[in-house]
Structure 1
């Protein structure tokens, strides 16, 4: 298992100061590795990167693990909450998802994601502060489970999962924020255009996240999708996609060179170069599906049915 993040009990010793401008590669990269590195199958290439950016602390966590009988599970979490709460929330959710995966038997992927997300929501909501009261922290989560040539996914909050296929990019997830609710209400003609525009300033506020003690929305792929040779899957926090528009992603991937294990770091560093000093934590996992046997499929990204985005609780 590879897990990048921080345990709350280690926060003081690992605190990172804001680097002076200009950034250099070492000063903005903070990756903590815990666990064992399982051997990935030849058809899967995985790389990961987590950059502090201009923030004092790293509130993102990422992890991935592979088990021959179960497949690959990859997770990215983006924590939120002051006084180290975001760090603890994202680490707890990330490591909790990995532990649940190891213990999972024959449960279907969709059932596993729904059950585990609900359990993690209660666990994170129960993280105490130094006085024993609820810390009030939370985290987003995106996760993919790839078994053989089929992928399932989970999303809660505003992190994203992209599928890049033959130069076409598709975002598989919904942003669970106030703007999502405003869009629905406007489409249903429950609010006026004037009220919609007046409320948009609060549009980025999350309406569902791990730690709210009662999830309201989640994206879960019920059936999953078949992967094709060359498909790339990107899990990322908002610190990445806010600096890399969806229409530029395929081009950025084409520019990657050298060792595939460095692709995520290259991608992150290319995107944040020349960005503002105060930019957010940036975390991503890039997975490439490259089996030896060539397969054909009639699936085109633009035709993926919107119901594949999952269920809303």
Structure 2
């Protein structure tokens, strides 16, 4: 017998749209298995133009998700290791980008932001590099949990000090310049708190690319609050509909994942086996391997179709460090 809660602890849905761009440079994945008390979500916003930004975002999401999934069975037993696992996954993704650029010089300048989260019961861990936001709606209030690694915070501070007008800050040409991003070189800044953030029942999380921010934050808050009792897929649909209604010809790629915390009950997975007397002899499930006759050897004229030409292993040389930069400006068609 398997007992399950009437609804999962987490209600999760993702959404993507190309916007007004000729190609999609965002990538995202979420994995919150029903009946589990943990899950992961990863999102990357690529930069660098066609055949570069989309590749960078896929590299980041693939590398980080694979690392988190591989270690996910350890999360509950050793939560203290989660921040280190996330940081190492980001470093590995950065190294893979560096290797790709070395082998494909025409993609130099490619990169991607990263925002990833791990939830264990009601405890939230995250890792972010760049300006992709992690939003939390709680008690009707919207806040960004992670750091914004762009010039936007400095520009907004200038407006708060009266040095520039709010309108000038909103439309500042350097607002989206990144101060940290995964490009294969040194990672200038990363946000990866050691301590988890405690979630409450009813919390709504959104990790997104900056394409969602074509909506003003008050509008995002209003939509999330109005539909907070809906399923996450419905919430995602309302956010997409609002962006489509804007009909902005410059709309950036859109990708986001909505995560709702439905309840705080532990997932119980109890399987009650039948007594041995009820199991018929010879009916126990077994896994067997069929051994096929060997084909002719090379001496007998056979060929190894899977062997690479030359019969040797190919190893890529180490890639040099990419030059550091204080700030990175997105390409004109960046995601």
TM-score by length of 2: 0.65
* Length, aligned pairs only: 246
3-state DSSP of counterpart to 2:50: coil
Name which one, 1 or 2, has greater alpha-carbon Rg.
Answer: 2
Q: Give 2:90's match in structure 1, choosing from 108, 113, 117.
A: 117
Question: How does 1:75-114 map onto structure 2 within 5 Å?
Answer: 75-104=42-71, 105=74, 106=78, 108-114=81-87
Offset, 1:41: 7.0
1:47 and 2:13 aligned: yes
Q: 2:135 matched to 1:162?
A: yes
Q: What residue ranges of structure 2 are gaps of 5+ in the alignment?
A: 1-5, 266-335
CA displacement at 1:259 relative to structure 2: 4.9
Is this contact kept in 2: 1:151–1:224, CA < 8 A?
yes
Determine which structure has the larger strand proportion and give its number.
Answer: 1
**TM-aligned CA distance change 1:179 to 1:274, over 3 Å:** closer
Which of 248, 251, 266 is equivalent to 2:238? 266
Which of 196, 220, 235 lines up with 1:249 in the alignment? 220
Distance in structure 1 (CA, Å) of the matches to 2:106 and 2:220: 43
**Residue from 256, 265, 269 that aligns with 1:284:** 256
Q: How many Å separate the matches in 2 of 1:153 and 1:139?
A: 17
The answer as to whether partners of 2:94 and 2:183 remain within 8 angstroms in 1 is yes
Aligned counterparts of 2:117 and 2:15: Cα–Cα separation in 1: 17
1:61/1:283 contact within 8 Å kept: yes
Query: Per-residue CA shift, 1:246-266, capped at 9, x if unaligned?
Result: 222232024448654343133
CA drift at 1:180? 4.7
Q: Which moved more, 1:205-214 or 1:159-168?
A: 205-214
Deviation at 1:212, TM superposition (A): 4.0
User: What displacement does 1:272 show?
Assistant: 3.2
Tell me if structure 2 keeps the 8 A contact 1:126–1:135. Answer: no
Equivalent residue number for residue 22 of structure 2: 56
Query: What's the CA shift for 1:129?
Result: 7.8
Q: Structure 1, residues 36-62: CA drift from partner, whole Å, max 9, x if none?
A: xxxx97110001101101111000000
Distance change >3 Å, CA 216–CA 178, structure 1 → 2: same
Quick check: 104-113 or 128-137, which moved more? 128-137
Match of 1:177 in 2: 150
**Residue 277 (structure 1) shift:** 1.9
Change (3 A) 1:240 1:210: same
Work out whether residues 141 and 159 of structure 1, in 8 Å CA contact, stay in contact via their aligned partners in 2: yes
Whether the 8 Å contact between 2:96 and 2:184 is mirrored in structure 1 is no
SS state at 2:224 partner: helix
TM-score normalised according to structure 1 size? 0.69
Q: Residues of 1 paired with 2:9 and 2:55: CA distance?
A: 34
SS in 1 for 2:113: strand
**Runs of 5+ in structure 1 lacking a partner?**
1-39, 187-192, 294-313
Aligned residues of 1:48 and 1:265 also touching (Cα < 8 A) = no
Rounded Cα–Cα distance in structure 2 between residues aligned with 1:272 and 1:227: 31
Q: Secondary structure at the match of 2:263?
A: coil
Q: 1:66 corresponds to which residue?
A: 32
For 2:198, which of 200, 221, 226 is the aligned residue?
A: 226
How many angstroms does 1:160 deviate by?
0.1
Kindly state the Cα deviation for residue 145 of structure 1 after the two structures are TM-superposed: 0.6
Taking a change above 3 Å as real, the CA distance of residues 247 and 274 of structure 1, as seen in their structure-2 partners, is closer
**C-alpha distance in 2 between matches for 1:253 and 1:181:** 27
The Cα of 1:136 is off from its aligned counterpart by 2.6
Contact 1:138 1:210 (8 Å CA) reproduced: yes
Looking at structure 2, the residues matched to 94 and 280 of structure 1 have their Cα atoms a distance apart, in angstroms, of 19
